[in-house]
Structure 1
Amino acid sequence: MTVIDAHQHFWNLETGSYPWLTPEAGPIYRTFEPEELIPQLAACGVDRTVLVQSANTYADTDAMLAQADAYDFVAAVVGWVPLDRPGEAAEALERYRAHPRFAGVRHLIHDEPDPDWVVREEVIEGLKLLADAGLPYDVVGVLPRHLEHVPTLAEKVPGLRLVLDHLNKPPIKDKGWEPWASLLARAASYPNVYAKVSGLNTAADAETWTAADLRPYVEHAIEVFGPDRLMFGGDWPVAILAGDYAKVWRETNALLDGLPQADRDAILGGTAARCYGIGG
């Protein structure tokens, strides 16, 4: 089986612009490039990755596609197009789809002042372009409001695969449950909605978290989505805010230990391969 990390990033502070990335971000306020991740993937037995956008810019997408050209382990790129400008988005998609590893789109909706940005009429039109192109859309939500919008998107754009990044950041540190659990279950009731078991360490206590802290939230996700719509993501380098890549890999595997091998294989690679069109 090919093991796929379905969510990781690179960024270069000298050549790129990332408005959200400031000195207050601490250890992740620096450049992160492929050579630093490669040995960590090898140590964990991860074969390939999905490289996900870090800025709402063409420059970021172009840089990621160049990295995909240079490094075989980058199996797919989730880039950016201006979904709120459908005409321009259509032109950008036509250009990017020529690249064999352009596999999806994301917009940093959690940085938008308007929590309802993703359900604006013009954005819905942009998302319909993705559905027509057979490309999934990553939903990077952090608020309950973001998760509330997923059923709306699933109904307004029924042909679109939606991927919830980081399980929409459940309230792990505070040991919270609702409304996250009910909203996740409702989103999962739509068969075209997928989710990533990723970024959970940074929703927990950065110093003390273990698999036990994540377990109720991951078990709920497995119950409502099933393994065939869940995928592992390391969320490197954001992950180093609460541990490191090796710990995320180790604790995620501890969470999956009791599952049948076929279910583990789905979460650790099979689902990502199907969702993002990754070949062998």
Structure 2
Amino acid sequence: MIIDSHLHVWDLDRSPYSWIDRDVPPFNRTFTFGEVAPQLEQNGVDAVILVQADDDDRDTDLMLEVADARPEVVGVVAYIPLERPAEAAARLEVLLQNPYVVGIRNLTHDRPDPDWVLRPDVDETLGLIEQAGLPWDHVAVLPRHLEHVATISERHPDLRIVIDHLAKPPIGEDSVEPWWSLIGIAAQNPLVHAKISGLYPGSNPASWSVDGLQPFVDRALEVFGPSRLMYGGDWPVSVPVGGYGRVLDGLRTALANLSPAEADAVWSGTASHVYGLAVARHD
């Protein structure tokens, strides 16, 4: 079984998506689940988790509508405003009534302050997520973002953290540090997990290769183990770097040496466990 733990949809008429540069394709358009569904079927993907793509309730509402309509969708990682704890608490109370909501995420990496996630108001909301028993997807693109995993782990010892895209390792760069050391420190907390997804060179994403990403996948396997790693297709961000099938095939090659039990964990088991998925409800 394959569960894609990281897939987006977005509708430019439904939510602002202010991170999208309106003058630069290929992301400046609406991406529907109907567009990716045939690719999921062709590549043997059984189920997906939709992940927020905008810090806006309307993006979450869109994902929940898609989940209601598409049997392939088994979970939604939703948005709540981390910096507004009272509003976040009210929204979280509503979201917890929806069985599709399996996690929370913000576009924290887009904040000008790299230490934004450590603010007292944000920290208060992370405590609410911890109390609710939901995992929190942490988006880390700078070493400083990855450093914060250890601090958040100390502050919230019961919070399950999922590091998106392996915290963007320095693929194709001259040095593997500080990512190499920091990912090991982050992995010391057994409640921290990570997604093998979005692994493209920052300077030229389309130039990615299995040889280029292999050392970083191997490092993740070393520090986390397969039981704390999960596959993510990262569509439609994957579209300009070769598309859904090319990315999936590349990760299959990078993970080819896993035992059957280890492979089951990465391809489906870890996601099912961390997000508490009731996959069978769609069978």
| TM-score category, normalised to shorter length | over 0.9
CA distance in 1, matches of 2:246, 2:203: 13
**SS of corresponding position for 1:28:** coil
CA distance in 2, matches of 1:34, 1:175: 38
Question: Does 2:7 match 1:8?
Answer: yes
**SS of corresponding position for 2:59:** helix
CA distance in 2, matches of 1:164, 1:111: 15
**CA distances 1:118-138 after superposition (whole Å, capped 9, x unpaired):** 111111110111111110100
CA distance in 2, matches of 1:226, 1:264: 11
Give the superposition deviation at 1:149: 0.3
**CA distances 1:37-84 after superposition (whole Å, capped 9, x unpaired):** 100001110011110001111111111111111111111100110111
**Percentage of matched positions with identical amino acids:** 48
How does 1:63-102 map onto structure 2 within 5 Å?
63-102=62-101
**CA distances 1:177-231 after superposition (whole Å, capped 9, x unpaired):** 0000100000000111000000003547434322111100000000000001000
Give the superposition deviation at 1:88: 1.2
Number of the residue aligned with 1:232:
231
Q: Are the aligned partners of 1:165 and 1:198 in contact in 2 as well (CA < 8 Å)?
A: yes
Unaligned runs of 5+ in 2: none
Number of the residue aligned with 1:188:
187
CA distance in 1, matches of 2:124, 2:22: 36
Number of the residue aligned with 2:267:
268
**CA distances 1:226-248 after superposition (whole Å, capped 9, x unpaired):** 00100000100001121111011
Matched to 2:142, the amino acid is L
Question: Does 2:237 match 1:253?
Answer: no
Number of the residue aligned with 2:44:
45
Matched to 1:196, the amino acid is K
Number of the residue aligned with 1:149:
148
**CA distances 1:133-190 after superposition (whole Å, capped 9, x unpaired):** 1101000110000000000000001110000000110110225300001000000001
Moved over 6 A (4+): none
**SS of corresponding position for 2:25:** helix
Matched to 2:128, the amino acid is L
The answer to which of 136-145 and 240-249 deviates more is 240-249
Name the count of aligned residue pairs: 279
Q: TM-score, normalised by structure 2?
A: 0.96
Matched to 2:161, the amino acid is L
Q: Give the aligned CA root-mean-square deviation in angstroms.
A: 1.2
Matched to 2:76, the amino acid is V
Q: Are the aligned partners of 1:202 and 1:242 in contact in 2 as well (CA < 8 Å)?
A: no
Give the superposition deviation at 1:93: 0.6
Give the superposition deviation at 1:24: 4.4
